[in-house]
Amino acid sequence: MTRRLHPASLFTTSPGLRPGIGLALGGGFARGYAHLGVLCVLEEHHIPISCISGSSMGSILAAAYASGTPLPSVIAKCREIRLRDFARWRVSRFGLASNKRLGALVHRFFDSNQFEDLSIPTAIVATDLGSGDPVVFKQGSLADAIRASCAFPGLFEPVMIGTRCLADGGLVAPVPTRAARELGAEVVVGVCVGLHDGHRGAPTNIFQVVSRAVSAAQKHQLEAWERHANLVLRPDVQSIAWDDFERIDDAIEAGAAAARSALPQLRRLLFQQQDAHSELGRQGELLLVEALQ
């Protein structure tokens, strides 16, 4: 799906936001490694990223990339990660595990610990379980925001930040395209890897029950998040299970293949952006000349 630039978007760019695309990375646990393949192709073909947003697994990779850590180093670190690195099993009334270890992982692996230290404007989305509304983090602690955005219901306990009880951002923003748009992006590219495990039979464990329920609910949210995107990439990762972290290479290749096939649309959108800015510049010069006469 490709959408032309809306004329109004030309007047809403945040001051200082560099030209390029706003990249929105959705959730999907191990499938989220497909985002790394997308980033590799964007870097290889010099497609600039003006800002980045993430939900759930997408929040980890968005922040890692925005921290300025070289992409090969991010990928190398991801190869080392297993579920035990961010989950501590302890059955409670609120979930099967705590994700406090994820905070320690952020401090250990990232080159930045605060939003203010990131090299690219970044937004991370979580869900307020009290109101059902999205909570968009753009400043403060990265570890707290990522823990909240990755607190998948039923599996991880919710995360308390202030008076808010927060859970996985994918519940309200499966792909956080609106957050990227609100950062000021003129061209928003969403990357959707989905939650459904691809099997048609009955679920065989509690995670499949919850993830399929969330996936079913998200089918009705497609229009909501897609309307904020100029382009949506859908890597073919249906064969990768939520906890198949060992299949990182398969996920990366799926993301890279989706990005490569979308290069013509990406270049066209960036050309439209550049052309529109040139036209605005010419109109501004004419108005200035008229005002001075």
Residues involved in catalysis: 56, 168
Q: Which two tokens stand for residue 225?
A: 């998040």
Question: In this structure, are residues 185 and 162 in contact, taking their beta carbons and an 8 Å threshold?
Answer: no
Upper half-sphere CA count for residue 45 (Cβ side, 13 Å): 17
Strands 164-167 and 159-161: antiparallel
DSSP per position, 131-193: T--EEEE-SSBHHHHHHHHT--TEEE--EEETTEEEE-GGGT-SS-HHHHHHTT-SEEEEE--
In whole angstroms, what is the distance from residue 252 CA to residue 249 CA?
Answer: 5
164, with CB counted inside 10 A (0-12, 13-18, 19+), is middle
Strand (E) or helix (H) holding 269: helix 248-292
Q: Which two tokens stand for residue 56?
A: 């759930």
In whole angstroms, what is the distance from residue 23 CA to residue 127 CA?
Answer: 20
Contacts of 208 (CB under 8 A, 6+ apart): 197
Strands 21-25 and 187-191: parallel
Helices (H) and strands (E) in the chain, counts: 9, 11
